[in-house]
Amino acid sequence: MNLPLVSVVMPVYNGEKYLKAAIDSVLSQSYKNIELIVVDDGSSDSSKEIILSYRDPRIRLLENGFNSGIVFSRNKGLAAATGEYIATLDSDDMALPERLEKQVFFLDNNRDYGMCGTFYYTVDSNGKLLREMRFCSSNRDIQTHLIIGNCFCNSTMMIRTKLAQELKYREKYDIVEDYELWYRISQRSKVANLTFYGTYYRVHGNNISVAKMNDMFALVKKINGQILTDLSIPFSEQELETHASFLNGSVGFFKSETQFNDLEAWIDKFYNQLSRSEKYNNQLLFELIAEKWIIVAYKTRRYKKLFYNAIMPLNRRLYFNCLRKRISGRLMRTQTRSLTS
C-alpha cells in the first residue's frame, strides 16, 4: 500500500462496443493501486450500464449529463484524479498487463521527467494485430520530433498529476488536444517513450482523427505556428501554410511550381535556423525533413528533385540514406503518416 496511487482517466461516448475490453485491461493490471475514472460524455447507448455492471470499488463514474466534447471530458477526469500519477486510456483501446507498473517505476526513479509514453500495437476493429509502433524514446529526440509532429500515443501516457492538472487540455483543440498538451509539457519537463509495448491502439472507421481530417489540419497548423513562434523562427502566413502542408502530408498543395519552390526555400530556412541549436538532435531533424521531402517530390512526380535539390547539400550522406530506404521498396507504398497519432 506504499505504492503511489495511479488515476486512470477514460472518457467514453457511445463506446459500448469496446468499452468492456478497455475497462478489463485496466482492472487486470499487474499494478493494483489504481482508481479508474470513467467520464461518460452523455452516451445514448449502453455505455453507462456496462460501467455500472462492475462492482470493483476502484471504478469511479463521472457523468456529463449531455455530450460536452472530448476536451471537457478529459479535463473533468484530470480534475477528479487523486493519484500521484495520471494514466490515460481511450475507451476503445486496451492497456497491456504490465504497462502501469513499468511506467510508475520509471517516474518514481526519474524525478526530472514529467511524463512518459510507451511503444504500442495497432489492432483493427476485431483485435487483429496490424503494426508495431515505435517512436523515439529519449528526451532530446522527442523534443526534436515534436517540432515536426506528434510522437506519443494518448492511450500510452502517464503524467505527474500536478503537472497535468496545471496545464490540462486546451479548449478548441478537439481532435489534436493530446499533441498540443504533450508539446506544452515537453517545454516544462523531460519526457520519454519507454521501450516496451504498453497498449493496443484500435484503428477503426470511428476514430476521430480519421473522420475529421480537415478540422484536424487547421488545428495542427495552429500548433505548428505556435511552435515556430516558440523557436523564434519568423514566418509569413504563406510560409506557415507551406510549413503545415509539408508536415501534415498535404501533398496536393505542392502541385504548382511556385508552391514547390517555396517549400524548398522554406526547408532551407527552417533547418538552418534550428541546426544551430544544441538542444535538438540535428541528425534526426534532418532525417524527418528529408523523408517528407522525398515523399512530396515523388508523389508530385518531380523525380529529378529527388536527386537535385536544396535539401541534399544540408547533409548529403543522410539524404541519400533516406532516399535509399524509400527507393528500396517502401517509397511506392508509403502513406504519409498523420502527425497526431
Mean pLDDT along residues 298-308: 94
Cell of 6: 495511479
Instruction: Kindly report, residue by residue over 192-234, the tens digit of the pLDDT.
Output: 999 999 999 999 876 555 557 788 899 999 999 999 999 999 9
Which CATH number among 3.40.50.1220, 3.40.190.10, 3.40.50.11540, 3.90.550.10 corresponds to the domain 6-210? 3.90.550.10
Would you list the domain boundaries of the chain? Answer: 6-210, 231-333
Query: What pLDDT is attached to residue 208?
Result: 52
- pLDDT > 70 fraction of the chain, expressed in percent and rounded: 94
CA distances from 206 to 13, 22, 202, 209, 287 (A): 11, 16, 10, 9, 32
- pLDDT (tens digit, 9 = 90+) per residue, 148-192? 999 999 999 999 999 999 999 999 998 899 999 999 999 999 999
pLDDT value for 332: 41
| Surface-to-core class of residue 55, CB atoms within 10 Å of its CB (0-12 exposed, 13-18 middle, 19+ buried) | exposed
Segment among 2-16, 132-146, 201-215 with least mean pLDDT: 201-215
Per-residue CA distances from 54 to 10, 84, 99, 216, 280 (Å): 15, 24, 22, 35, 47
Residue 338: predicted pLDDT = 37
- Residue 258 grid coordinates: 511556385
Give the tens place of pLDDT for each residue, 27-37: 999 999 999 99
Q: What confidence category does residue 1 fall into, taking pLDDT thresholds of 50, 70 and 90?
A: low
pTM tops 0.75: yes
**Rounded mean pLDDT, 287-296:** 95
- 3-state secondary structure string, 263-292? HHHHHHHHHHHHCCCCCCCHHHHHHHHHHH
For 230-258, the pLDDT digits (tens) are 999 999 999 999 999 999 999 999 999 99
Which residues face 181 on adjacent strands?
none
